[in-house]
Amino acid sequence: MARLPQAEARDTAAGGGWLGFLSPALRTGLASVAVLGGFAASFYMSGTPQLVPATASTASLDAVPRTELVGYLLTSGAHVESADLAVLTAAHPGIAKDFLHASEAELNEVLDSQPSEELTYL
């Protein structure tokens, strides 16, 4: 037992003698504030991300004729995701008016015929 460090030696060795006077709940709160403050400071110091203009990609896509784009999308090897179409329609809102002529009743009929899991839409 004589070889074990005493309680005073442990407190002074850690340099946190003043922490011993605080309650455990206050020490936990202080640690939480320090960690969250570090996160907040790192986000604040990193700054806002620089906005990169997307003019290069849109300019190159605008140079391609529309018939060639439609032909490319209709080929069997092209894998187009809905995110790609969302970006395209956001850039050109009226792009589908030329080739989509479906009434609301036709769209509802096609959508209702698609199989779906009820749990997905809850």
Which structural domain range is residue 67 located in? 55-121
DSSP-derived secondary structure letter, 55: H
The pLDDT of residue 31: 93
Query: Is the domain of 19 the same as that of 63?
Result: no
Considering the domain boundaries, does residue 2 fall inside one? Answer: no
Query: Is the domain of 26 the same as that of 62?
Result: no
Query: Is the domain of 100 the same as that of 72?
Result: yes
Query: Is the domain of 62 the same as that of 32?
Result: no
Cα–Cα distance, 42 to 59 (Å, whole number): 36
Query: Is the domain of 76 the same as that of 98?
Result: yes
The pLDDT of residue 91: 79
Is the pLDDT score of 117 beyond 80? Answer: no
Confidence of residue 12 (pLDDT cuts 50, 70, 90): low
Summarize pLDDT for 51-93 with one digit per residue, the tens: 666 555 666 777 888 888 878 777 766 676 777 777 877 877 7
Query: Is the domain of 42 the same as that of 59?
Result: no
Considering the domain boundaries, does residue 31 fall inside one? Answer: yes
Query: Is the domain of 59 the same as that of 109?
Result: yes
Query: Is the domain of 59 the same as that of 114?
Result: yes
Considering the domain boundaries, does residue 1 fall inside one? Answer: no
Alpha helix positions (H), the chain: 7-14, 24-46, 55-62, 66-74, 82-91, 104-113
Name the domain count of the chain.
Answer: 2
Considering the domain boundaries, does residue 60 fall inside one? Answer: yes
Confidence of residue 25 (pLDDT cuts 50, 70, 90): very high
